[in-house]
Amino acid sequence: MALTPKESGKFIAERAKHVKINDKGITALGNQLLQEINSGSLTVNGFSQTPIHPTENDSWAADWIFVIDTLNFCFWSLENEVGWTVDQQTGYFALCTAINRAMKEGIDILNPKFYSTISEKQLLNIFRSDNEVEIPLFKERLKCLHEVGNSLLENFEGSFVNCIRQAENSAVKLLNIITRNFKCFRDEATYEGTRVFIYKRAQILIGDIWACYKSKGLGYFNDIEEITMFADYRVPQSLLYFNVLEYSNELQEKLKSNYIFANGDPMEVEIRGCSIHAIELVKLYVWNEMDKPDKVNSILIDHFLWDFRRKNAKTILTHILPFHKTFSIYY
């Protein structure tokens, strides 16, 4: 029987050799999150606070999120390098800006009839940069668009909305629909002889739908607490900052040397798996301290940590190790 991402994180954390979860860090981060929740700053409304995102009132919001999260991977550059930039935005926000710019220019980028056959030239134009830096893994992104576009047309009448409706308000069911029908979302690895399932992009897709629609309508899922954090290369930096994670000397040395991990490398899998399990432990701590634990889930905790790293990038780089580097379509 296949492990869920939550079960996969626990399996990895219990066997990890190079990554350790610290109980004191769990408590410290949990208390920080309680302050955020009690102050009203950590809520589902955060997604729509940036104008770069659609709102629940945009008829095309679900298909926009699907295209974005199909392409939402591998934006990193070395700390001393200039990365891919669109209208002065970098990383994920550059991607959103590029897609929004394409829509304003009349490009039918949310239509799978268009992007299932989009050419290299057309996609290069959409991803054109402020500088000479091209978006990383360009050909992989082109392939992902072709793949998911064809599957949407063949199986879901050309709209991700139909995937959501087929899930019948179950996040777990939607996760299975996504990973079964869209190959590029199958973020899996073998660790200690066991197949583990991390599913970062598939889960962030569900989390973004939930957040955009504020847990109502298309965004209502009766089991949203089953979705874990989104195991990437940035959130672990925040977990290190809060002393939730601790790395072995061997792993630290590799990070300091800008070692490029292969996707599926045991150390890479341990960082991601331990991040998942650590957030589950933080969530349980917060739940035990709250009168209404349904106010927080792993998605909101991930949002806090991702934003924290972005707002405190220089501080984290000064005090904490660099992020782990992997060329992968999965995050």
Given 63, 69, 208, 232, the catalytic residue: 232
CB 218 within 8 A of CB 164: yes
Q: Cα Rg for the chain, rounded, in angstroms?
A: 19
Q: How far is CA 28 from each of CA 22, 243, 308, 311, rounded to the nearest angstrom?
A: 10, 8, 15, 19
Query: Cα 37 from chain centroid?
Result: 22
Residues 6+ apart with CB under 8 A from 2: 195, 197
Q: Do residues 209 and 62 make contact, with C-beta atoms less than 8 angstroms apart?
A: yes
Count of other CB atoms within 10 angstroms of residue 51: 8
187 is catalytic: no
The candidate with the shortest Cα–Cα distance to 53, out of 223, 214, 233, is 214
Give the count of alpha carbons within 13 A of 168, CB side only: 1
Catalytic residue numbers?
A: 232
